[in-house]
């Protein structure tokens, strides 16, 4: 059936869904049409399961079981664009919307998931938190731009302190994972409570690399997004062991349709280049890269697989993770499985190892209750607060140990 409208979109902001759409190409110039005099908008709550369901979940859905939530006329801007705001939505739920004009079918589905903006920070919120941190740092913190995403968003880089040892932080190499919500509060709290730590240690942090994917998810894309806007897995795109094709997750990193696609050539993605430029000009002593899912991560920490036979490097890495774990899980004795070599060819950790034997870690999550919650995108404010505190304490322990070396 011919559709009467086009470019239907749903965007979440401040716990409201805004739908927008346009009259189609042929009808918008037809002054005599009454096709758009009476809109009907339908909504269906979906039993979408994050991490199991993806875009296909919403296919073959004609909306016949969706509920009518609005009927009436709407004003078109520029004689073509319509908008409708739905504030009767709930955090943690996934919806499909359908729009019907006078003679059309129910057009959709337009899927959207409403996420807590305190758990999934938007780009705007992250930038505002970074600016506040700098303003309250008594000149200790500086903000710069280290590159641009594929969609042209500035990638911020935060530098704190001027010590001779450098600690690097990288967040959101993968859009649906973790970074700004943990890195920024940890640095901010320590600046406030233990500013003396920054005399010996300088922090260089890129809290969000794959900002484009994260912004899509913060604005309501229901499914997990791993790659950048070019479809490149940034943690396979670094120039490290490029001759090795990775087959993890049943995928092939040289396959353009795989979510682990490494890109057309080493460091082809602008986001990868941004991270490299920061660490090439500020060679770090240690780097933590934040992964796992839905804004939290912790242990295990993974280093490059290619370093697994380097005993000296392994010992150095393990000691760093012991300090990290002392702050992160103070009630538990160090467990051997909290440190492992699992970072692949093309990962940031592998590049850091090749670049200068720099201890670089991907932070993931052991299979505990927190993992079960975050894996299905049910991370709540209490869990985020718990992980912010754990990462603050972990950072403090790592800074104290690094200052001694």
DSSP sequence for 332-386: S---GGGEEEEE-TTSHHHHHHHHH---EEEE---SSHHHHHHHTT---HHHHHH
Smallest distance from the beta carbon of 382 to Zn ion, in angstroms? Answer: 24
Distances (CA, A) of 25 to 76, 136, 291, 398: 15, 52, 43, 59
209/179 Cα distance (integer angstroms):
9
Nearer to Zn ion, 177 or 246 (CB): 177
Alpha helices (H) along 148-284: 180-193, 211-218, 270-281
43/55 Cα distance (integer angstroms):
17
Q: Does 390 help bind Zn ion (rule: CB under 5 A)?
A: no
Q: Does 174 help bind Zn ion (rule: CB under 5 A)?
A: yes
Nearer to Zn ion, 106 or 262 (CB): 262
Residue with the CB atom nearest Zn ion in the bound state: 291
Alpha helices (H) along 136-219: 180-193, 211-218
C-alpha closest to that of 389 among 381, 378, 400: 381
With contacts defined by CB under 5 A, name the span among 64-72, 81-89, 288-296, 378-386 that binds Zn ion. Answer: 288-296
With contacts defined by CB under 5 A, name the span among 24-32, 153-161, 258-266, 289-297 that binds Zn ion. Answer: 289-297
Q: Binding marks (x or -) toward Zn ion, 31..70, rule CB under 5 A? A: ----------------------------------------
DSSP letter at 74 equals -
Please return the burial class of 265, using the count of CB atoms within 10 Å of its CB with bins 0-12, 13-18 and 19+: exposed
With contacts defined by CB under 5 A, name the span among 40-48, 175-183, 243-251, 323-331 that binds Zn ion. Answer: 175-183
Nearer to Zn ion, 41 or 321 (CB): 321
φ, ψ for residue 349, nearest 5 deg: -60, -40
Smallest distance from the beta carbon of 272 to Zn ion, in angstroms? Answer: 14
With contacts defined by CB under 5 A, name the span among 16-24, 69-77, 78-86, 170-178 that binds Zn ion. Answer: 170-178
With contacts defined by CB under 5 A, name the span among 35-43, 104-112, 177-185, 295-303 that binds Zn ion. Answer: 177-185
End-to-end CA distance of the chain: 70
Nearer to Zn ion, 171 or 220 (CB): 171
Nearer to Zn ion, 177 or 285 (CB): 177
Smallest distance from the beta carbon of 95 to Zn ion, in angstroms? Answer: 27
How many residues sit close enough to Zn ion to count as binding (CB under 5 A)?
Answer: 3
Q: Does 291 help bind Zn ion (rule: CB under 5 A)?
A: yes
Tokens of 16: 């409201």
Number of other residues whose CB lies within 10 A of the CB of residue 163:
17
Smallest distance from the beta carbon of 223 to Zn ion, in angstroms? Answer: 15
Nearer to Zn ion, 122 or 347 (CB): 347
Q: Does 262 help bind Zn ion (rule: CB under 5 A)?
A: no
Q: In the sheet where 154-160 sits, what is the strand order?
A: 141-148, 154-160, 201-206, 165-170, 286-290, 360-363, 301-304, 339-343
Smallest distance from the beta carbon of 45 to Zn ion, in angstroms? Answer: 29
Residues of the shown chain interacting with Zn ion in the complex, contacts defined by CB under 5 A? 174, 177, 291
């Amino acid at each position: 059936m011919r559709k009467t409208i086009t470019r239907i979109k749903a965007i979440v902001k401040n716990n409201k869904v805004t739908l927008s759409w346009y009259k189609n190409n042929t009808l918008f110039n037809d002054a005599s049409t009454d096709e758009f005099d009476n809109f009907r908008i339908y909504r269906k709550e979906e039993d979408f399961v994050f991490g199991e369901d993806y875009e296909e979940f919403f296919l073959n859905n004609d909306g016949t079981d969706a509920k009518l939530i609005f009927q009436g006329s709407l004003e078109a801007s520029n004689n073509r664009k319509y908008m409708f705001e739905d504030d009767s939505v709930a955090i943690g739920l996934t919806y499909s919307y359908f729009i019907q004009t006078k003679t059309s079918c129910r057009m959709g589905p337009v899927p959207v998931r409403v996420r807590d903006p305190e758990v999934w920070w938007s780009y705007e919120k992250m930038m505002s938190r970074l600016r506040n941190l700098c303003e309250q740092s008594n000149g200790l913190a500086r903000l710069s731009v280290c590159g641009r995403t594929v969609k042209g968003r500035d990638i911020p880089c935060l530098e704190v302190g001027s010590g001779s040892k450098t600690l690097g932080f990288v967040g959101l190499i993968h859009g649906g994972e973790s970074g700004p919500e943990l890195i920024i509060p940890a640095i901010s709290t320590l600046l406030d409570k233990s500013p003396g730590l920054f005399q010996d240690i300088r922090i260089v942090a890129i809290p969000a690399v794959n900002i484009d994917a994260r912004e899509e998810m913060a604005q309501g894309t229901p499914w997990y997004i791993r790659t950048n806007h070019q479809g490149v897995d940034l943690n396979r795109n670094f120039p490290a062991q490029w001759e090795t094709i990775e087959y993890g997750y049943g995928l092939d990193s040289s396959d353009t349709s795989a979510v682990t696609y490494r890109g057309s050539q080493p460091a082809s993605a602008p986001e990868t280049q941004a991270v490299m430029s920061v660490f090439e000009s500020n060679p770090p002593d240690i780097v933590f890269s934040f992964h796992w899912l839905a804004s939290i991560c912790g242990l295990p920490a993974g280093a490059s697989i290619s370093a697994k036979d380097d005993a000296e490097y392994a010992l150095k890495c393990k000691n760093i993770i012991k300090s990290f774990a002392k702050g992160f899980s103070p009630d538990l004795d160090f467990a051997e499985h909290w440190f492992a070599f699992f970072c692949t060819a093309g990962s940031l950790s592998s590049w850091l190892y090749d670049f200068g034997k720099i201890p670089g870690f991907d932070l993931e999550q052991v299979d505990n209750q927190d993992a079960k919650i975050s894996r299905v995108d049910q991370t709540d404010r209490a869990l985020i607060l718990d992980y912010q505190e754990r990462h603050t304490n972990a950072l403090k322990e790592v800074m104290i140990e690094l200052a001694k070396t």
